[in-house]
Amino acid sequence: MDNKTWWGRHTTQLERIDYWQIGPLRLWVHPLPFRMCLTWTHQGDWLNPHVRAMPGEQVDPPPMASKTVICAYGHGAKDDLVFSPALPDRPMIVRLNSELNVLPGEDVSLFILTPLFLRIEHTDPAKTLYEIPIHRASDTWFGPMDSTGSLGYASPSRAYLDLREVPLRPHSAITAITIRNAGSTSLHLDRINVPSTRLSLFVSKTTGFWTDRLTLERRDDDEMAHLRLDKQPPPEASPTQFVCGPRSPDDTMPAIRAFSRIFNQTEKETTG
């Protein structure tokens, strides 16, 4: 897998329209005097593996349902852009296919596949023009409908117990999660809160993008968990290179609401 087919530095030309497909994302880049026109839409399956670039070639015009943003700046007729991968700007809420029951004193390892964001950066001066989700995830609420709950994205991925089942995609990152039940009762859950904004991003030439490995430890008989980051991917990802740090670094790593129990009917009704 060659992830550099879509991320890195790209040369643009004034008035030339460049077209990109990154999985489900279709992107048209149109440099104009003192501004950059970005138009995009999402089509098809989020696991679409295709990546292609068509600089200046004749392509179909953007559909009516597409979104356009004009980024203005005050210099230059020719500009290079940098496409950078980034993790989502909210937590990803992963719904399990079936109830997961973790007994007291036991732990379980899961693998989650998270679609990335495309960060489009200007090179001179260096600044971020815009961020576009490569997959358009739905909004969802996690936790009680008060200040203790939080807004996140509904993950399109299921939780995998076997890494060999995880589909490798050039626009998604794998997160290895250990759920440890140090409470006195069994932990029944159907959804997991993956704190994407606290994770760093890495890349492997053979297996694609990874995040830090994390452990969610439940110490009391509730839905809270203590978060521990390894600050590196699991051994299965090696060797990897560091790509970028977390959006919201937090060295204190307080307990977070990480689990949704299968019998919490109120929470399930709020998210549908």
Each residue's pLDDT tens digit, 160-216: 999 999 999 999 999 999 999 988 888 888 888 899 999 999 999 999 999 999 998
User: Phi, psi (5° rounding) for residue 265?
Assistant: -65, -35
Q: What is the pLDDT of residue 33?
A: 86
Q: What residues are paired with 160 via a beta bridge?
A: 111
For residue 259 the two structure tokens come to: 């689990």
Lowest mean pLDDT among 3-12, 75-84, 257-266: 257-266
Each residue's pLDDT tens digit, 249-259: 766 556 666 67
User: Helices in the chain by DSSP H: which ranges?
Assistant: 265-271
The span from the CA of 164 to the CA of 7, in Å, is 25
The span from the CA of 61 to the CA of 59, in Å, is 6
Domain ranges of the chain: 3-85, 88-116+137-271
- What integer is the mean pLDDT of 218-229? 81
Q: What is the pLDDT of residue 114?
A: 97
The span from the CA of 110 to the CA of 163, in Å, is 8
Q: What is the pLDDT of residue 264?
A: 41
| C-alpha separations of 155 from 195, 216, 246, 269 in Å | 12, 18, 19, 18
Each residue's pLDDT tens digit, 14-61: 889 999 999 999 999 999 888 889 999 999 999 999 999 988 877 888
Compute how many other C-beta atoms are within 10 angstroms of the C-beta atom of residue 155: 25
pTM for this prediction: 0.87
Q: DSSP 3-state assignment of 124? A: coil
- Report whether 94 contacts 165 (CB < 8 A): no
Q: DSSP 3-state assignment of 256? A: strand
